[in-house]
Structure 1
Amino acid sequence: MNEIKVSIIVPIYNSEKYLEKCLESLVNQTLSNIEIILVDDCSTDNSKQIYNRYLERYENIVLIKNSVNKGPSESRNLAINISRGKYIGFVDSDDWVDIDMYKTLYNYAISKSCDMVICKMIEVYPNNIEKKIDTKGIEILEDKKDIISKFMKFEILAYSCNKLFKSELFRQNNIVFPNLRFGEDQYTTFITLYKSNKVGFLDEYLYFYNKRENSSTTDKFSLVKLDILKSINMIREFMVEEEIYLSFKYLYQFRYMFVLFGNIIDACIKELTFKEAQNVYIKIIDDFSYNMNDYNLNYQISNKNKIRILIFKKSFYVYYLIYRTIFKNKI
């Protein structure tokens, strides 16, 4: 029996509007010897009828049906456990990929002996508006310091979907996706990067990320988004265990600051009343103080952002008024 080259894992939950386009892009991949693992996470729409048509036609599709809704993280973990591919890829069921994506990534990974290969991606907004998401022009990274630095500075995106991972990364290091509803990729991507000996980058746009309305990344602010702080704190705990935290503390704080403000605080101020936003502030301020206790000494953070943090710490009311005005003027 021929070796499975790539296992493509697709968690499915109520994505009937987009699932056919996703599956079409996968069953038509130009790479041979792949398996497609679908995980139905208790969908209540017509997703089942759609993927059943593909199950009947394609022998390389495997189906897992969750008995209860487990979320994307646990669905991916279940699929990893049964996957047979030398490499693993992840696709969200409302996204799609270039038909040459996995052939391109796999051939590059094999030719360069990479543990992970990363391609560029295109965000697709309603009305088919596209935005190219660029990463820095790198080809190969082998130095752990460079890998950590580029991740912390957002030069390597935290998404799992635009990457091909050697399956041994997960199995030999017991890496799993944490049971979070938002920001789970951040932790897993960092750990797999850290455990990789060689990471390759392709200057090709192969993944199409559907920024649809009412998705977990585009809908209005909810407390679920606080999970991203759990994710980055898990990274800190890992770095402490590996005895590298002190060496990269300022880079970690740099990332923490942008994760906190970009994903939580700015969203609160744009969408919530002061009282609602203040309730969120109360929930996160201890975590902020724990992670940013000496931010004023951090040379990675600009003076402008240090002033921003100072106002945030001293008076959330003043901070809220300032940035509410800024955001309103940008509309």
Structure 2
Amino acid sequence: MELLKSWIRNLLFLKPQLSIIIPFYNSEDYILKCMESIVLHTKVPYEIVCVNDGSTDKSLAIVNRFRLTHPQVRLVDLKINTGLYYARLMGILRARGKYIGFVDSDDYVSDGYFDLLYESAVNSSSDISVGQIVNVNANNVKYVQTRCAVFPYTSEKATDSNLYDLYWKQQGKCYHWHVVWNKIYKRKLFMDNIELLKKQTEHLVMLEDFIFSSIILKDVNKYSVNTQAKYFYVEHKSAATKNENYTVVCKNISDMKIAFSYVETFLKENLSYRKFIDDFAGWKSRYGRYWKRNIQNLKLQQKEKQLLMNSLKKIVGEDIEDVTATDEFYYEQSVIFDETHNGS
């Protein structure tokens, strides 16, 4: 019976134009809202590739139940937790659409989000199409970061010819550049680089999208923007408590080391991209300042903080400066999102 259901599902959705990848790990409280925000308002022929990264809660059961009434939803079931990087990669390998988009399982999208990005990409023959991120804080207040709202989306300096240059020159000041979930991409961008992306094999969660973007964006010849397409990036109350855990912060710093090491090797081994080494160093220094402050503010024993700082220094260098005014780009909370004009 399950084989018959699978055959019918694949027959009905054999040629999607867009593949939407949702990696999930223990997301039972959020993933239904995530999937519903896509299927209720997406009209372009699409599939959703849900990648279970070894969940131990009810999220897999929720996805399987949802699939019974939504045949466009496919499942990649990884039996053990492999990390977000690998889960995304497995989704990419299973995707069949001309374009690929991503949604994290605890986030959601605005009505028609993927239709808007797809239409924008197709009409302009773009390699990528970019939407706008709306932050949702732990109190469910929605806001748009002022400087990120302008950069890169409507910056006159961001032209097709220098997109990759600007990606590096902003040195991580605005994470809207390197996250993968506010964009759709031509699948070809990933497949042309798939062997390079496969070289990263370690368990990786934080900064995994930094690797994808540092590889993929180099091949973008044309891009488009649609700021009516809103991606709701959700901050959860549990995150703050989780980040006070010494083991979790150790993992975050370890991930930072893996990601920076991979990208640095890529830049140094490819003559065309060595010119970005200085900007890469600036990016790494900025993250060093962020995490120095994060560690200082943690509710941990002083000995634990010192161990974390020692690990951080091994990545970004011994002399880590304090956070500067321009670094607040990342944390800035500014314009409250007006749902009466934009919808949710």
SS at match of 2:268: helix
The equivalent residue for 1:58 is 70
Provide the secondary structure at the position in 2 that maps to 1:176.
Answer: helix
Give yes or no for contact 1:151–1:158 (8 Å, CA) kept in 2: no
For residue 131 of structure 1, report the CA deviation from its aligned partner. 2.3
Given residue 265 of structure 1, which amino acid in structure 2 is its aligned partner? K
Opposite residue 270 of structure 1, the aligned amino acid is: N
Q: Which residue of 1 aligns with 2:315?
A: 287
Residues 114, 200 of structure 1: 8 Å contact kept: yes
Residues 89-125 of structure 1: CA deviation (Å, up to 9, x unaligned): 1111111011211111111111112111211111111
- The change in CA–CA distance for 1:215 and 1:74 in structure 2 (over 3 A counts) is farther
Q: Residues 151 and 107 of structure 1: is their aligned pair in 2 closer, same or farther, counting only changes over 3 Å? A: farther
Question: 1:245-273: CA deviations, max 9, x gaps?
Answer: 552333222211111221x2111100044
Query: Does 2:201 correspond to 1:184?
Result: no
Question: What is aligned with 1:220?
Answer: 244
2:288 is aligned to 260
**Unpaired segments ≥5 residues, structure 2:** 1-12, 323-344
TM-score (norm 2): 0.77
In the other structure, the counterpart of 2:264 is 236
Segment of structure 1 superposing worse, 191-200 or 208-217: 208-217
Structure 1 runs not aligned, ≥5 long: 293-308, 314-318, 320-331
Residue by residue over 1:191-227, the C-alpha shift from the partner in whole angstroms, topping out at 9 and shown as x without a partner, is: 1111211232333351011111334997336111111
CA distance in 2, matches of 1:5, 1:151: 32
Amino acid at match of 2:303: K
Show the 5 A alignment for 1:1-331. Answer: 3-133=15-145, 134-136=149-151, 137-138=154-155, 140-143=159-162, 146-155=165-174, 156-174=176-194, 176=197, 178=200, 179-215=203-239, 219-220=243-244, 222-226=249-253, 227-244=255-272, 246-262=274-290, 264-271=291-298, 272-289=300-317, 309=319, 312=320
Q: Would the aligned equivalents of 1:122 and 1:130 in 2 still touch at CA under 8 Å?
A: yes
Larger mean Cα displacement after TM superposition, 228-237 or 101-110: 228-237
Q: Once the 2 structures are TM-superposed, how far is the Cα of residue 19 of structure 1 from its aligned partner?
A: 1.3
Please, which moves more after superposition, 112-121 or 268-277?
Answer: 268-277
How big is each residue's C-alpha offset from its partner over 1:168-205, in whole Å with a ceiling of 9 and x where there is no partner? Answer: 01111215374412111111112111121123233335
Distance 1:39 1:249, change over 3 A: closer
Aligned length: 294
> What is the deviation of 1:7?
0.3
- Cα distance, 1:166 vs. partner? 0.8
Q: Which moved more, 1:234-243 or 1:212-221?
A: 212-221
* Percent pairwise identity: 27
Q: 1:194 to 1:48 in 2, by over 3 A?
A: same
Name the CA shift for 1:117/1:285 in 2 (closer, same or farther; >3 Å): same
Shift of the alpha carbon at 1:50? 1.9
Task: Give the TM-score of the pair, scaled to structure 1.
Answer: 0.80
Residues 288 and 40 (structure 1 numbering): CA distance in 2 closer, same or farther, change over 3 Å?
A: closer
Question: Contact between 1:122 and 1:205, CA under 8 Å: does it hold in 2?
Answer: no
The one-letter code sitting in structure 2 at the alignment partner of 1:132 is V
CA distance in 1, matches of 2:274, 2:99: 33
* Structure with larger RCO (C-alpha < 8 A, sep 6+): 2
**Preserved contact between residue 147 and residue 194 of structure 1 (Cα < 8 Å):** no
Q: Does structure 2 conserve the Cα–Cα contact (< 8 Å) formed by 1:7 and 1:89?
A: yes
Paired with 2:191 and 2:261, the residues of 1 have a C-alpha distance of: 23
Q: Residue type matched to 2:296 in 1?
A: I
Q: Is the 8 A contact 2:190 2:216 kept in 1?
A: yes
User: Structure 1 residues 233, 7: CA separation in 2 closer, same or farther (over 3 Å shift)?
Assistant: same
- Provide Cα deviations, 1:54-84, integer angstroms capped at 9, x if missing partner: 2111111111111212222211111111110
Residue 324 of structure 1: aligned partner: none
Residues 91 and 161 in structure 1, CA contact (< 8 A), matched pair in contact too: yes
Seen in structure 2, the aligned counterparts of structure 1 residues 129 and 32 have a Cα distance that, compared at 3 Å, is: same
